[in-house]
Amino acid sequence: MEFSLTDEQQQLRRTVREFAEGEVAPHVMEWDEASRFPTELIPKLAAMGFLGVIFPEKYGGAGLGYMEYAIIIEELARVDGSIGITVAAHNSLCTNHIYKFGSEEQKRKYVVPLAQGQKLGCWSLTEPEAGSDAGGTRTVAVKQEGLPGPRQGEPGRSVGGWVLNGSKTFTTNGHHAGVCVAMAVTDAAKKHHGISALIVEKGTPGFRPGKKENKLGLRASDTSEVVFSDCRVPNENLLGREGEGFVNSLQILDGGRISIAALGLGMAQGAYECAKGYSKQRKQFGKAIAEFQAIQFKLADMATQIDAARLLTYRAAWLADRAIAEGDHQGRFTREASMAKLYAGEVAVRVANEAVQILGGYGFIKDYPAEKYYRDVKICTIGEGTSEMQRLVIARQLLGK
């Protein structure tokens, strides 16, 4: 077994850390307090290649793997989880769905500008009545012929399409995305196998962002509703085969859960470093509190749990890279990704809690970052499948169900 990173991966970590500490850290509390999405940061993320990490260079990407992707999300989240989740949703959900299941034409048209950072992507699966039970989707796409569209009548093109109605909730990047991948029921009789994926471009009549959520944490990321009202989508924007959108989404979530594991890992690392640094400076009873065994035990547990989460996360990323290297682009690493997401997310919550405890009263005020980590990490036990759903996924994998 080889547990060390390559020289290139270590250099990547240093590069991302330098970027995060230079471009993100000075603005973290400003963005958080104002609940403001930092649009000015997007071109900088694009220039660094962070918006096309896992996509080949021929599609505008950086041509890196999931190991590098996990490192990038981890290091961004160590400074600000809001930036980490913005990059994660763009890469592993929206863009990756098109890359994995799109036609060559769709990849050229959408993956290239997304990977280059010319456009931001969002992915809409969750609805007010369809959370953990994503199969309960109510958004509907009705097939019709002769729909008007900007590309109607071109040689070799169908003039038909879909009329999309419904709404999605908890969509990361919803207000700022130029491309949305949305799941909709196209054949209710087939249940899970009657849900299809559609690509919807910003500016399409009938497509708009809805309410922006006022959140506990990750307040600089954009989380909102997206609404479809008689939104007409051409046939060419059907993503993958009709009726396989939900099944494909489960495969996309395998990679997405690696990124959420990395997100939790990074925030846990940031909270731990905050607590350790404070414990060396804070004096009580004539000595630094780091000299007290009670604090030492807390730090020891935090560091151990973070390392265990890192190993689970990197294992899942390594398996994803191995599947791709072997040409098995649909290769599944469901159990390992869910284990990493479950454990890293729950570790992040525990570590952030202990960080606040170590800082005491100062952990409860905004002069120190501990309280922000405490607010931010909770999403890691909820988003892209709750901890309860991860346990269910893992159990089914173990029992062969």
Mean pLDDT of the region 227-253:
96
Structure confidence at residue 296 (pLDDT): 98
253 and 386 co-located in one domain = yes
The answer to whether residue 326 sits within a structural domain is: yes
97 and 137 co-located in one domain = no
Q: What is the CATH number of the domain that holds 125?
A: 2.40.110.10
The answer to whether residue 366 sits within a structural domain is: yes
Structure confidence at residue 146 (pLDDT): 67
Backbone torsions φ then ψ of 203, nearest 5 degrees: 95, -10
- pLDDT over 70, % of the chain: 95
Mean pLDDT of the region 334-357:
98
Q: What is the CATH number of the domain that holds 381?
A: 1.20.140.10
Please report which confidence band the pLDDT of residue 351 belongs to, taking 50, 70 and 90 as the band edges. very high
The answer to whether residue 44 sits within a structural domain is: yes
384 and 250 co-located in one domain = yes
Structure confidence at residue 132 (pLDDT): 83
106 and 158 co-located in one domain = no
Exposed / middle / buried, residue 36 (Cβ in 10 Å: 0-12, 13-18, 19+): middle
The answer to whether residue 255 sits within a structural domain is: yes
The larger pLDDT score, comparing residue 195 to residue 135, is at 195
The answer to whether residue 321 sits within a structural domain is: yes
Q: What is the mean pLDDT of the chain?
A: 94
Answer whether residue 126 shows pLDDT above 70. yes
Tally of domains within the chain: 3
Structure confidence at residue 129 (pLDDT): 87
Structure confidence at residue 330 (pLDDT): 57
Please report which confidence band the pLDDT of residue 3 belongs to, taking 50, 70 and 90 as the band edges. confident
Residue 232 structure tokens:
């007409």
Residue ending a domain, among 115, 148, 167, is 115
251 and 382 co-located in one domain = yes
196 and 259 co-located in one domain = no
The answer to whether residue 104 sits within a structural domain is: yes
250 and 390 co-located in one domain = yes
Contact 320, 66 (CB under 8 A): yes
Answer whether residue 88 shows pLDDT above 60. yes
Mean pLDDT of the region 223-229:
98
Please report which confidence band the pLDDT of residue 131 belongs to, taking 50, 70 and 90 as the band edges. confident
CA dihedral sign of residues 352, 270, 122, 95: negative
DSSP-based three-state secondary structure for 191: helix
Residue 315 belongs to what domain range? 246-399
- pLDDT over 90, % of the chain: 90
107 and 144 co-located in one domain = no
Residue where the block lists tokens 């005020």? 365
E-assigned strand segments in 17-105: none
Residue ending a domain, among 213, 245, 277, is 245
Please report which confidence band the pLDDT of residue 183 belongs to, taking 50, 70 and 90 as the band edges. very high
Please report which confidence band the pLDDT of residue 6 belongs to, taking 50, 70 and 90 as the band edges. very high
Mean pLDDT of the region 70-94:
98
295 and 232 co-located in one domain = no
The answer to whether residue 1 sits within a structural domain is: no
State the angle between helix axes of 66-79 and 245-281 in degrees (0 to 180), rounded to the nearest 10.
50
Element (DSSP H or E) covering residue 348: helix 334-359
Residue ending a domain, among 217, 245, 273, is 245
202 and 261 co-located in one domain = no
The answer to whether residue 2 sits within a structural domain is: no
Residue 384 designated active-site: yes
240 and 250 co-located in one domain = no
Instruction: Give the amino acid at 225.
Output: E
Answer whether residue 157 shows pLDDT above 70. no
Structure confidence at residue 147 (pLDDT): 58
Mean pLDDT of the region 218-230:
98
Structure confidence at residue 155 (pLDDT): 42
Among the listed residues 53, 73, 71, 72, the one whose alpha carbon sits nearest the alpha carbon of residue 63: 53
76 and 139 co-located in one domain = no
Out of 84-93, 123-132, 147-156, 259-268, which region has the weakest mean confidence (pLDDT)?
147-156
Mean pLDDT of the region 352-370:
98
Q: What is the CATH number of the domain that holds 43?
A: 1.10.540.10
Structure confidence at residue 159 (pLDDT): 60
Residue 338 structure tokens:
């869910």
Which position among 40, 104, 384, 388 bears the catalytic label?
384
